[in-house]
Amino acid sequence: MRLLFCGDVVGRAGRRVVREHLRRLRERLALDFVVVNGENAAHGFGLTAPICRELYAAGADAITTGNHVWDKPEILDAIASDARLLRPANFPAGAPGRGAGVFPAPGGRRVLVANVIGRLFMDAADDPFGCVECILAEQGLGSGAHAAIVDFHGEATSEKMAMGHFLDGRASLVVGTHSHVPTADARVLAGGTAYQTDVGMCGDYDSVIGMDKWISLDRFLGRVPAGRLEPAAGEATLSALFVETDDATGLAVRAAPVRLGGCLAPEMPG
């Protein structure tokens, strides 16, 4: 199976670059399933139902989120009825929505997508390791899913790396989101799980993690809030990870970065 995971979509520039490239990527890479992290898609903070529809129309099969999922209150109603929109599974019991789902793919295959959030330098959440282990035991590889994708939304690279090794051999892909900067460690781990510490963002990199660089600089230099953070609006880069799996096992045989547009050097699988 051929999978693509697109990093955090930041504001209008991020949505624009996803619209421009994702459909063509689906054709060029013969993709079977695409996940997009959309938690910053609505002006940099949260997302809305119309934006979810925009991302689905652009080529996303499922949308994951993170700590900004509730920033737009109207998403509370949408997440209850949209099975393809996920919030972190290790949020406290009773949180609206769901943290994992099994979705159809071509050829009668099924893809598990699980979304968890880290605990280091983040707001309090339940144990992500135990949470995702329970999800994979019930719905993962060997339990009805032909591929299993885990979005680990975390601040600390150590915690994300630990999750990759914890799930090695049990997931097709463990990918980090949240820091908006693509790391250079995309690879297949020893047990067959594709991994990247952070996939980066779909947004304008002439910025401070997707936000207008001058507003951000004023905050750092003046030590006082200097206006509301605004997403950078220049030419954006689509940052993603391409993964190819073995149909017999669901484990990865290839992992390669994808970067298109904007100011970062382009990357495409050979």
- Give the strand pairing for 2-6 and 238-245: antiparallel
Dist. CA 211–CA 183, nearest whole Å: 19
Which residues does 88 contact at the CB level (< 8 Å), separation at least 6? 65, 66, 67, 69, 99, 115, 116, 117, 125, 128, 153
Catalytic residue among 21, 43, 68, 146: 68
Asked if residue 54 lies in contact with residue 9, where contact means CB atoms within 8 angstroms, the answer is no
List, in sequence order, every residue forming a beta bridge with 9; answer none if it has no partner: 202
For 131, phi and psi rounded to 5 degrees?
Answer: -60, -50
Q: Is 68 a catalytic residue?
A: yes
Residues known to be catalytic:
68
